[in-house]
Amino acid sequence: MREPVFEGSGVAIITPFLRDGGIDFPKLGELIDFQATAGTDAVIICGTTGESSTQSLEEHIAAVDFCVTHTAGRMKVIAGAGSNDTNAALFLSQHAKKSGADATLVVTPYYNKATQTGLIKHYTYIADRVDIPMILYNVPSRTGLSFTAETYAELSKHPNINGVKEASGNFSLIASTRALCGDDFYIWSGNDDQVVPLMSLGGKGVISVVANILPELTVKMSHLCLEGKFKEAAKLQTENMKFINSLFIEVNPIPIKAAMNLAGFGVGECRLPLCEMTPKNLEVLKKNMMDVGIQIK
């Protein structure tokens, strides 16, 4: 039986950009150190929250290389490697292996989408050629495409396909997947507001946006679930729901970057077409930050 890439809290880490272009690597190093100190179990670099869609190929490669080197084994490193071009996803996956990443995160093809047969062919083609674990990524709100449980069952047969980051919010799909795939295909929550219910169905943890600014919360909540202490974990989930929801009041990662800047992290702005928050939503975010004890500087 294969082992999960990680258990507990994985942070979908933001990418700090310089005002005049490029990645702020010293700041990225500070953010990685912040996560390591908090006990985060994995760093996911160049994902949706990391604004991979507006990074050049050179920036993507440099970010993955830096993250692997700077993390230095303190946490697992999972490299975003998705594309709507199978060969491009293969290239990014091959680079992830070469860099020393522990696994890849590969989102479903977007815009051109695919049939379920196309999904099986897409992921199998990559997994046949890159011998490190792959985590599938299901986020139909962004891609317009979802796996079926039957497709998960077929892909779970491949030894290099470790599981899925599930951000569909479809608990019928998740339950059916668990029934069809059993314990040898792992599921991580891709939604911060659904960590506890998904882990109650056997999920192994979360790939989290909230963990960027409250890593201890996400670590504690996910580890309570791993220990079977769902009542205590649910209390943490519900107590922090207003703040969690405020990080998605506008398109991710706009609010999390705004929150981190308000808290003094100095992570820079999002890249266009993502832009600053509306004043109304910013006030909501500020209030909910203060309510959970985050100081605004």
CB count within 10 Å of CB 111 equals 8
The residue type at 55: Q
Measured CA to CA in angstroms, residue 27 lies from 78, 161, 272 at distances of 19, 32, 20
Nearest alpha-carbon partner for 80 in 89, 68, 69? 89
165 is an active site residue:
yes
User: Which listed residue (27, 76, 165, 204) is catalytic?
Assistant: 165
What is the token pair recorded at 16? Answer: 């700090």
Residue type, 145: L
Is 111 marked active-site? no
Annotated catalytic residue within 137, 152, 204, 220:
137
- What interhelical angle do 215-226 and 230-239 show, nearest 10? 150
3-state secondary structure at position 89: helix
Instruction: Give the burial string for 32-61 (b: 16+ CB within 10 Å, else e).
Output: bebbbebebbbbbbbbbbbbbeebeeebbb
Q: Which sequence positions are flagged as catalytic?
A: 137, 165
